[in-house]
Amino acid sequence: MDQNFMRADASLHFPEGSSLLQSSHWEEPQRARTLEQICSVFRVDLGQMRSLRLFFSDEACTSGQLVVASRESQYKVLHFHHGGLDKLSEVFQQWKYCTETNLKDQVSEERTCMQFSIRRPKLQSSEAHPEESAHHRLDVAAWLRHLNELGQVEEEYKLRKAIFFGGIDGSIRGEVWPFLLRCYSPESTSEEREELRLRRRREYAHIQQRRLSMPPEEHRTFWRNVQFTVDKDVVRTDRSNQFFRGEDNPNVESMRRILLNYAVYNPAVGYSQGMSDLVAPLLAEVLDEADTFWCFVGLMQNTIFISSPRDEDMEKQLLYLRELLRLTHLRFYQHLVSLGEDGLQMLFCHRWLLLCFKREFSEAEALRIWEACWAHYQTDYFHLFICVAIIAIYGDDVIEQQLATDQMLLHFGNLAMHMNGELVLHKARSLLHQFRLRPQIPCSLHDLCKLCGPGMWDSGPIPAVECTGEHPASESCPYGGMVDAPSPQPPRDGKRGAKTTREGFSFRR
């Protein structure tokens, strides 16, 4: 059973000839809502519940009631008239996320009731990053303290660190995000930024004019390759958000123009499904169409997130992720290896990377994760530590149940919108801190920390580079790592240890 999600189906009687259920073009949320209405389907996120109680009405303890209690003391009662409650109690007893609690009012030996409390994933205080509670959300006052009289950003590293730990208050996201996405240089003055903004507005208008004045044949090709898909995607992107809700919403049309104009601006990338998921939050926070366009350009140019991947782009991400798992979660890595090439492709995390966790967490939590990644604090690959954190918190069932590749995909897919984003962020920051303390790193992860400004090891000892020995194009390690004779001591993670040199380990400033 999934650790966070349970669906209880009661009295499933489908109306004969129901045209509602025969409609094949339905989206899943609409289908789920109608099932709830006509088939008595009840869905509950157990991660948000307080307790479960089973009341037995017969001596065999097979019939009775299941009472689900929320944290707000709201209750849902499910009746088991024809047995099955005993089977459910066995599931709860075996399920590690349920803890049976003793009932003080049950004095007789005859069992009439069972109660279970919900155990939620937690991060032990000893695991937390030592600076986890030292920073607050960046608000207007804190932001203004980082600007001098000319409007230049001072102590940029401290600013990024504050954003990495505390995030940004929603009221100033539209002003701060362009700096994180490198639309504006932190050294620029307010006057210089306004001049640049006006110049970019003119350039954006010129890009749009190029699109609108395409010759007929070029326009037909553009419509077939780009516009047809964009038009389908924008009308179903973030429509639950008040900013995009309703028919003939002008903000939806703004999102459409931004995506079409970007395809003209960067025809090599064009448009891929999922880009609308990235533009929508930018537009909802920045509010201005031209400014959002240039923020999106910055997002596509200057982050490691992949929106329209080439095969080698995704493979590099997966290589780093596999190596991080080998170092930090060996049991899960070994399970992937046991599944062969299909397991090592880690299909379950492709959507995480492609859509920047947009479909995995609530909007508020997803934006917090985006800001932590955009801060580029100590690494440009913090999104990979987010991936490892998700696996570390929610992946134990994969190992215990020895799930196959398709089952892993289903397992993590079912967790979407049911994971604790703040817990994942805390775990990811902890993993980054632990990685920083390592005395040596494999050469396969050498590039993980060399791109951002202040590097991961700017203070303290620089770790040695351990060569993995997998360099088919050359005999020596390109990062200066050396592989000596195997140590006679038992290996810590299934591989022989190696003494290394520190030569060649450097950061690109």
The DSSP line for 95-164 is: -TTEEEE--TT--SSS--EEEEEEPPP---TTTS-TTTTS---B-HHHHHHTB-TTS-B-SHHHHHHHHH
pLDDT of 107 above 70: no
> Containing domain of residue 458, as a range?
438-509
Rounded-to-integer distance, Cα 54 and Cα 114, Å? 5
Domain annotation covers residue 161: no
pLDDT for res 51: 81
pLDDT of 261 above 70: yes
What b/e string do you get for 156-190 counting C-beta neighbours within 10 Å, with b at 16 or more?
beebbbbbbbbbbbeebbbebbbbbbbbbebebee
Residue by residue, DSSP assigns 463-487 as PEEEP-S--TT-SS-TT-----SPP
Q: Which two tokens stand for residue 289?
A: 């169409």
pLDDT of 286 above 90: yes
Picking from 56-60, 117-121, 149-153, 397-401, which range would have the lowest pLDDT averaged per residue? 117-121
378: nearest Cα among 435, 452, 447? 452
Query: Which residues are paired to 286 by β-bridges?
Result: none
Same domain (yes/no): 288, 227: yes
pLDDT of 487 above 80: no
Same domain (yes/no): 316, 232: no
Rounded-to-integer distance, Cα 445 and Cα 464, Å? 12
Task: Residue count of the chain, please give it.
Answer: 509
Phi, psi of 98 (to 5 degrees): -115, 135
Local confidence band at 265 (pLDDT 50, 70, 90 cut-offs): very high
Answer for the pair 2, 44: CB distance below 8 angstroms, yes or no: no
Domain annotation covers residue 410: yes
Same domain (yes/no): 220, 111: no
Domain annotation covers residue 141: no
Same domain (yes/no): 315, 426: yes
pLDDT for res 49: 75
Domain annotation covers residue 138: no
Q: Select from 302, 320, 344 the last residue of a domain.
A: 302
Rounded-to-integer distance, Cα 25 and Cα 370, Å? 32
Query: pLDDT tens digits for 208-260?
Result: 999 999 999 999 999 999 999 999 999 999 988 999 998 999 999 999 999 99
DSSP H or E run through 56 = strand 49-56
Angle (deg, nearest 10), helices 173-180 and 363-374 = 40
Domain annotation covers residue 348: yes
Rounded-to-integer distance, Cα 102 and Cα 51, Å? 12
Same domain (yes/no): 316, 298: no
Local confidence band at 331 (pLDDT 50, 70, 90 cut-offs): very high
381: nearest Cα among 326, 445, 438? 445
pLDDT for res 462: 67
Rounded-to-integer distance, Cα 269 and Cα 257, Å? 16
Q: Select from 302, 319, 346 the last residue of a domain.
A: 302
Number of H helices, E strands in the chain: 21, 9
Query: pLDDT tens digits for 36-61?
Result: 555 556 666 666 677 888 888 888 88
Q: In the predicted model, what is the mean pLDDT of residues 265-293? A: 93
CA 390 to chain centre: 8
pLDDT for res 99: 76
Q: What is the CATH number of the domain that holds 233?
A: 1.10.8.270
Query: Which residues are paired to 64 by β-bridges?
Result: 56, 80
pLDDT for res 322: 94
Residue with tokens 């999922």: 274
pLDDT for res 94: 79
Domain annotation covers residue 10: yes
Please give the mean pLDDT across all residues of the chain. 81
CA 429 to chain centre: 14
Same domain (yes/no): 425, 459: no
Same domain (yes/no): 402, 448: no
Domain annotation covers residue 127: no
What b/e string do you get for 224-251 counting C-beta neighbours within 10 Å, with b at 16 or more?
eebbebbeebbeebbeeeebbeeeeeeb
Same domain (yes/no): 421, 443: no
Residues whose CB falls within 8 Å of the CB of residue 409, separated by 6 or more in sequence, listed in order: 347, 348
Same domain (yes/no): 287, 320: no
How many domains, the chain? 4
Q: Which two tokens stand for residue 262?
A: 């970007």
pLDDT of 22 above 80: no
- Higher-pLDDT residue of 13, 438: 438
Same domain (yes/no): 268, 217: yes
Q: What is the CATH number of the domain that holds 361?
A: 1.10.472.80
Same domain (yes/no): 251, 319: no
Phi, psi of 43 (to 5 degrees): -115, 140
Domain annotation covers residue 123: no
Same domain (yes/no): 337, 430: yes
Rounded-to-integer distance, Cα 308 and Cα 314, Å? 10
Q: Select from 281, 302, 323 the last residue of a domain.
A: 302
